[in-house]
Structure 1
Amino acid sequence: MNEHVGLHQQSGSSYFLLYTAAVILIMALLGYWYANKWNKENTSKLKKEQKAALKQKTKKMRMAAHLLLSVSIIVVIVHFAKDLGKEYDVDTLNLKAAIEVTEDKNYGAEHSDDPVSYEMKIPTSGTHSPHDLKFGFYSEKPANEMLVHNLEHGDIIIHYRPGADAQIIEQLKYFVNFREAGAGILAVPDENIPSGKEVVVTAWTKTMELAEYDETKIATFIYEYINEGPEKIPAQIRRGGGTM
């Protein structure tokens, strides 16, 4: 893939900062260990000049350790502040990739607490639960009845194969941070992905099947169809899903 949405850059730079902080912290701990060791060696058996020199050496090492500890803390703060300050703007997903999207039959949008037998293995409409799900990454597949409710509100659902490799999982965890008004993203494992396909992305009455994981196509699908369900709920009411 030639175009990316910042996934690889995010993971690489974030891990580098954490590794750097860990190395600096180890150096600080070693500094404290040496300072403590030298302090214990500074006994009355030493001459006055030796005691003064060892005391000065210990003081410098302890100051260096304090400095290294402070730097490691700052690096960790920068790492988390970087993630907290990151904006997930749906407009950045407009990568204009060529996507093939199936226009599915609309099976209605009735609500029911009873189990539903869907015509489609990965349904994109139909009778569904009166309760929806929170946006985010799921390691276990929620009920279709609840997923369809999310689609009704304009959410995007990325269905991935159970046992997907770590890089795909990491990228899906990035995608689920995006929001558009009251709509969001869910990533769920699904045994019903058709043979020969790796990922299925759905919106209300829309399906995109991918033989290979392609983040540019997923990004384009999200940009095109998020918040396009038949029932739009304001963000201040949905608050990340799971509220209806």
Structure 2
Amino acid sequence: MLKKYIIFFLVIFITYSTYSQCLDLGTINSQNQLDSLSDCEIIEGNLVLSGSDISDLSPLSSLSVVTGSFALLNTSVTDLSPLSLLNSAQQVFVQGNTSLSSCCNFLQFIDASQLGSIMNVSLSNNGECDDLEAVMLDCLGYIEGCTDIEALNYSENATVDNGSCEYFCPESIDDIVDFSCDGNAYPINCEPEIINEPSDGAGHYNNPIGLCYDESPPSSGPHRSMWGRWGEYEYMPPQRYIHNLEHGGIAILYHPCVEKEIIDSLRTLACSRPDDDGGEFRWVLTPYVDLPSNISIVAWEWTYLNDCFDAMSINEFIDEHYRNAPEDFYYNGSYDTLYVGKCEAYGCTDVNALNFQSINLIDDGSCIYPDLDTQMVVLNEGWSLFSTYIDPVNDSMSVVFQDIIDQTIIVKNNVGAAFLPTWGIDIDLEIGQGFQAKVSSNSVVEIIGTQLMPELTPIELDLGWNMIAYLREEPADVVLVFQEVEENVTIVKDGLGNVYFPDWNFCNIPAMVPGEGYQLKMSAADTLEYLSNDEEY
């Protein structure tokens, strides 16, 4: 029998070893040619069988999809039953076959429940037959279908209602439903519940109106004609994931308020499932509105509910119901609204966070940040010497100066390397070092990061000229600060030209001040160690 469902659009199938595919071979004129198609399960393009030499369709017993049209033209075929697996064709022609001289003859290989599954059927010997429903009553004495005029799939020719009516939900206008956490997940009750619901159909509807479901979450029913890519979504509506279920996949749903650990566990489970003869494990992961538990695993007509993550029972459910669906397609669909990815590296992607890892591709909200400190450094128009007691979150000078980038002309370190915004040249703000900056107007730089402990941050002083930072919170006497290394100090200068000459016992630098930088010349290398902020000079 033809299956009930027909695909209303052309699908470009990706070649995969599970499915034997054949390209459009043109018109098949002989039985020998037809016999060569015995391994074909999918034909990309048209399948046209023409001529009296063709009498046996058994080579097509594995055929399930024809992406174009299927035609029997003037053949000697008397038995259509080998086509029982065919569930998709854009158009079906049966013409000039003397053994199939009427619509009633054609009905031997479909039944009433499959009406509407075949597009543009025509059977022509003694007349056209484009509307099978119109002759069902003559052939079989009844027509099954939906008899409710308000339904999506109402059939004016149906004489017996078979419970197949499907309806729109007026309160849901599109595929994107707002959802949010109400502040509470469900209390933990680690007893899985498994529900079997009879199929609610599988009609395809593309109107921009939401679809109704009697169960929450639904495990079958009307849905959009295009299914989604396999993987994780910020949100995937049921009218999309049901089509993925129809293709043998699993929908992994979670309450929007569950802890991150549950979502991580569900994702890990999905990504850890082994491949099989159908290819990679087919799954979608999404939060779900009005979920009656913290977790739900959904297969076609089957639903697993639990308030806590239990890998064993979830895997047992998947093993039992995976790929037990009307269609068994691995291929990705084109729907990807709010798509996140599939088995990507999840984690913190913010370089400023403590737990940043460069391998992470998708941020999962797990970034951890330190308690940050701030220092405001004043720069006067023109040249200034500055420093900081902050270890910045990001030490690139372009980031440190980003708020005053338009006023910044140049920033130099002690060895002449420079940050030049106009030229895109950057340097790092090194701990313990002073810098020269030239700005076009009076400015303030906000440096954010972790405050250094001055007593634990010694500064290495090289022979010759150095440019150093002042690492304490409060001002201090320059003579007292350098008293341990003064025998190797030739001169200390501040940004205003004031100096300290140890050998001459001369100093007109008022004090060393936070935010200021200092130049000094050493007669020998040494190490400067500041007192802690709790101590005084």
TM-score bracket, shorter-length normalisation:
0.5 to 0.7
Instruction: Deviation per CA, 1:77-127: give whole Å up to 9, x if none.
Output: xxxxxxxxxxxxxxxxxxxxx964211021111111023111122111111
> Among 226, 229, 242, which residue is 1:148 paired with?
242
Q: Determine the C-alpha separation between the residues in 2 that align with 1:154 and 1:119.
A: 21
Q: Which amino acid aligns with 2:268?
A: Y
Determine which structure has more spread, i.e. the larger CA radius of gyration: 2
Q: Determine the C-alpha separation between the residues in 1 that align with 2:205 and 2:299.
A: 20
* Contact persistence 1:157–1:187 (CA under 8 A): yes
Q: Determine the C-alpha separation between the residues in 2 that align with 1:130 and 1:175.
A: 28
1:186 lines up with 2:289 in the alignment:
no
The sequence identity of aligned pairs, in percent, is: 28
Gaps of 5+ in 1: 1-97
Following superposition of structure 1 onto structure 2, how do residues 1-244 of structure 1 map, counting pairs within 5 Å? 100-114=193-207, 115-138=210-233, 140-177=234-271, 178=273, 179-180=275-276, 181=278, 184-194=282-292, 197-233=293-329, 235=330, 238=331, 241-243=332-334
Q: Determine the C-alpha separation between the residues in 2 that align with 1:101 and 1:219.
A: 13
* Contact persistence 1:175–1:185 (CA under 8 A): no
Structure 1 residues 204-213 or 172-181, which shifts more? 172-181
Superposition TM-score, scaled by structure 2 size: 0.25
Go from structure 1 to structure 2 and tell me whether the alpha carbon gap of 1:121 and 1:162 turns closer, same or farther (over 3 Å shift).
same
1:219 Cα deviation (Å)?
1.4
Q: Determine the C-alpha separation between the residues in 2 that align with 1:121 and 1:228.
A: 20
Q: Which amino acid aligns with 2:321?
A: Y
* Contact persistence 1:154–1:228 (CA under 8 A): yes
* Contact persistence 2:265–2:309 (CA under 8 A): no
Go from structure 1 to structure 2 and tell me whether the alpha carbon gap of 1:133 and 1:176 turns closer, same or farther (over 3 Å shift).
farther
* Contact persistence 1:141–1:189 (CA under 8 A): yes
Q: Determine the C-alpha separation between the residues in 2 that align with 1:148 and 1:221.
A: 17
* Contact persistence 1:159–1:187 (CA under 8 A): yes
Q: Which amino acid aligns with 2:219?
A: T
Go from structure 1 to structure 2 and tell me whether the alpha carbon gap of 1:225 and 1:232 turns closer, same or farther (over 3 Å shift).
same
Over the aligned positions, Cα root-mean-square deviation in angstroms equals: 2.1
Instruction: Deviation per CA, 1:37-93: give whole Å up to 9, x if none.
Output: xxxxxxxxxxxxxxxxxxxxxxxxxxxxxxxxxxxxxxxxxxxxxxxxxxxxxxxxx
1:142 Cα deviation (Å)?
1.2
Considering Cα pairs closer than 8 Å and 6+ residues apart, tell me whether 1 or 2 has the greater RCO: 1
Gaps of 5+ in 2: 1-190, 336-537
Describe the SS at the equivalent of 1:101.
strand
Instruction: Deviation per CA, 1:180-218: give whole Å up to 9, x if none.
Output: 415611111012111xx2211110000111132212111
1:166 Cα deviation (Å)?
2.5
Q: Determine the C-alpha separation between the residues in 2 that align with 1:189 and 1:221.
A: 20
